[in-house]
Structure 1
Amino acid sequence: MRLIAVDDERFALMDIMEAIRKAVPGAEPEGFSSPESALCWARRSPVDVAFLDIEMAGVNGLELARRLKDIRGETNIIFVTGHSEYAVDAFSMFASGYLLKPVAAKQIAAAMEHLRNPLRREDGEKRIRVQTFGNFEVFCDGRPLHFSRSKAKELFAYLVHKRGTACTTREVAAVLYGDQPYTPSLQKQVQTVLSAMMRTFQENGVRGCIIRGYNRTAVDVSKIDCDLYRFLSWDAEAVNEYMGEYMTSYSWAEFVTGYLDSRIT
């Protein structure tokens, strides 16, 4: 996913870039202080999302948006400006967002949730990215993935934790519901959670991430980008990301931190 930010005011550009990084974990936007430089870059590298100031010297943001669209019609345009009077002109160009400065990361994250055009993916790029260090979080195409049930998210966390090993319904029940008796009612409850988890991926167009069989459920480790998996493969970036915390929301994951600590001592 290629993101750019264009603003001829240096500090405003730095603020936008920082907000984008916070809103889209893992993103590394390209920043430009001149529209001409942005256009030159866009001709070589297709742009997925462009965050544009409107009032700039030379080519203004509206004209820059038109030229970016000429280069690649699927480019999503999000205007980030201190002027509200251009809103009508901006939306006449089918912009994905119109944000007033100073812009916060949560505003950018909301705009990314409502892009007009689907994001292009690089060949081999994995749609699902999982963060296990610290709190457990899941991202689809760079955006937070929302689970309708907290237990569905915890179930996916446990499957990620198992690293491709299949889990039975009884095992899932023990993890999610502790010492509750494994009754037909609880078994049905687990099936409801499984369905909710699967529906989350289906609604986001993600296929093949979960492997289902008779009384068996597992994650396909080849379909996700996970900091834990990269850490275990001695990926330097993942090792540096680990700060002594692993899936802090889930008690069943507590013992893993000792093992991870031992790997780097």
Structure 2
Amino acid sequence: MRVVLVDDEPLALKRLRKVLLNELNELTIAAEYSNPYEALSGILEHRPDVVFLDIQMPRIDGLKLGKQIQAILPGIEIVFVTGYDQYAVKAFELYALDYVLKPVNAQRLRQTMERVGEKLAVKRARQAPAANASCVRCFGQLRFQHPGAEEQVPKWRTNKVQELFAYLLHHRNRPIGRSVLLELLWPEIEESKGVQHLYTAIYHIRKTLKACGMDGISIHTGEPENGYKLDLGDAGVDAEVWEDEVRRLGALDGNSAERYESVLDKYSGDYLEGYEYLWAEHERERLRLLWQLQMNKLGEFYERQGMPERAVGINRKIQQRCPDLEDTYFSLMKLYDVLGDQAGVEEQYWLLKEKMGRELDLPVSAEIADWYERWKTREEAAPAPNR
């Protein structure tokens, strides 16, 4: 297991390294960083299995850095190291496999590393679905698809049945306790009635799966506390397959750019888009950020290669899916300027100004406004074309 440590306090780094090496034999510390900006490029270079990441750092918030790391290296595990008490840390669990409190306790660290080891073992044992396997589509609306057939939108008995299936799918191959499901879906009714609703909902999920020819997907009962686990059988999940493809893309160059674009175009919608499931929001944001950062990289590559039209196409796709990103409007303004498309520059500045003013009640950033004014002055001073 390869590990990278990130903490702006040298003494904290030293203690964490000492405890890790004393407690675990099958572990290699690939690198240590006290500068979070150096850490990001170093993690890309070393590609560790796990990053131990301090939350409170003066230059950048550890949560923000953790999201960037997850987006750039999908599949990497993050363990936060923090001085917060365990109640405040609950918020951080959304972004990490686990957390440890400062000063680092050896017994707690062993528990964390056992959890890390189990997660990595599952990942390594997981096989990609066969090319002729059925698929559950989570990008956009929930759908089922069999090889060579049209996608099916399942007809769920109720919205609760749909959410129960989506939640079990989100936590696939992992047992979810009955009390967790009751609290999620039927928090305001007494337990005995909630249990009956749960049994009925499970029955309707199985019935819907059979009606859609997806009866290879099964729901098992068992621990913990009479919980339920969704087993996909041979079926795949489009979000998981896509993330695996992104992970295998490798270096971006002239030979791989088309492949990059083809894979990124498979991101056909946000994760469980249109369903207001709060529990899905982190995964939705994480996958969208992964797509966005890879698209930014591709757009910048086309720009460096002197292919502004291709760069415009990439930025237009980013803008369509992430309309609140101010930088995308600015990138398009500059690209249209390179192409000599005055109307394109004007359109992007007007769209940005409208969005910032009407929806966010904020002015356009000074950098973009200054660039636009200089561009406008230059365009007005340019000689009119000969007729």
- What is the TM-score with the length of structure 1 in the denominator? 0.42
Q: Relative to total residues, which structure has the larger helix share, 1 or 2?
A: 2
Q: Relative to total residues, which structure has the larger strand share, 1 or 2?
A: 1
Higher Cα Rg: structure 1 or 2?
2
Higher relative contact order (CA 8 A, sep 6+): 1
